[in-house]
Amino acid sequence: MIEIQGLRKSFGSNEVLKGIDASIQKGEVVAVIGPSGSGKSTFLRCLNRLEEPTGGTIRFKDRDVTAAQKELNGIRQKMGMVFQHFNLFPHMSVLDNLTITPRKVKGMGKEEAEKIAMELLRSVGLEDKRDARPDSLSGGQKQRIAIARALAMQPEVMLFDEPTSALDPEMVGEVLDVMKRLAQNGMTMIIVTHEMGFAREVADRLIFMDGGYIVEEGDPREVMAAPQHARTKEFLSKVL
Ligand code: ADP
Ligand code: MG
């Protein structure tokens, strides 16, 4: 579904991605781990060109994301993104947060958008919050709403950038449960995370990034049990 070749990204003279090659299959769940500053967020953000790559190519379902101009918005709509800090629209109700983009960008009618939104709110257990403002919700609830909002655009891939890192510990589980169900329902997912238990249990593949490279990747259980590279070993010894 996504084919990444020789992906590079520099900020000024700081080369953050130094040639990333990766293929993501439809329905695959890929967890990305690595030290702070290793380029994980930049990698994710390059996939839908929230960051402009400085080299290499990204293909999404045989469309060239790196060269796309007019089709870029269409490609972005197929890639849902969830951030550490939720990024909900604070001045809107939960329901409006879920319906605004389908209505404005896809031209969906109010009734259909609200029907889809209510199904999604049900699926994340927050039906009763339809009229609430984001400010009145807990972090875990906000993040579940953010996931539902991304899903409201009916994406084919979901990109998660440390979706539980800003949460109080007691709220991490409810968000991971939603993500786990999404994975079980066949969603293609790329998840930057420090939740090693979740990565081991839910991900099909684990990618370890360091210094702008993919240093090691493989079956999460195998990589965690027997890392092949010194840097992977060192990182895992700190987080496991
Ligand atoms: P990670 O998500 O693995 O912690 P990032 O991708 O956020 O790493 O950052 C990798 C490097 O890129 C860091 O050195 C960071 O300072 C730099 N960087 C990220 N975004 C920008 C930006 N918009 N402008 C300049 N430097 C950036
Ligand atoms: Mg990051």
Return the domain boundaries, the chain.
2-237
Written out in words, the top-level CATH class of the domain with range 2-237 is alpha beta
For 93-146, write each residue's pLDDT tens digit: 999 999 999 999 999 999 999 999 999 999 999 999 999 999 999 999 999 999
Residues 4-21: what's their mean pLDDT?
98
Give the residue, by CA position, lying nearest to ligand 1 atom 6.
39
> Mean pLDDT score of the chain, rounded to an integer?
97
ipTM higher than the 0.95 cut:
yes
Nearest residue (CA) to ligand 1, atom 7: 41
For ligand 1, is residue 36 a contact (CB within 6 Å)? Answer: yes
Return the ∠ at Cα 230 (arms to 43 and 16), rounded to 5°.
25
Mean pLDDT of 7-24: 98
CA 232 – CA 209 distance, rounded (Å): 9
Which candidate, 117, 115, 167, places its Cα nearest to that of 137?
167
Number of residues that make up the chain: 240
- Number of helices and strands (H, E) in the chain? 9, 10
Whole-number Å distance, alpha carbon 114 to ligand 1 midpoint, is 37
Instruction: Say yes or no: CB of residue 41 within 6 Å of ligand 1.
Output: yes
pLDDT at 214 over 90: yes
The mean per-residue pLDDT over the stretch 34-49 comes to: 97
- In this structure, the strands spanning 205-210 and 213-218 are antiparallel
For ligand 1, whether the C-beta of 164 sits within 6 Å is no
Stretch (H or E) spanning 55 = strand 55-60
Report pLDDT digits (tens) over 155-186.
999 999 999 999 999 999 999 999 999 999 99
Q: Is the pLDDT of residue 6 over 90?
A: yes
pLDDT in tens, 67-79: 999 999 999 999 9
User: What is the rounded average pLDDT of the residues 49-71?
Assistant: 96
Which whole number is the average pLDDT over 18-30?
Answer: 98
Tokens representing 156 are: 């084919």
Whole-number Å distance, alpha carbon 33 to ligand 2 midpoint, is 10
**What distance in angstroms lies between residue 105's CA and the mean position of ligand 1's atoms?**
29
Cα of 18 vs centre of ligand 2, distance in Å, is: 16
Structure confidence at residue 117 (pLDDT): 98
pLDDT reported for residue 62 = 87
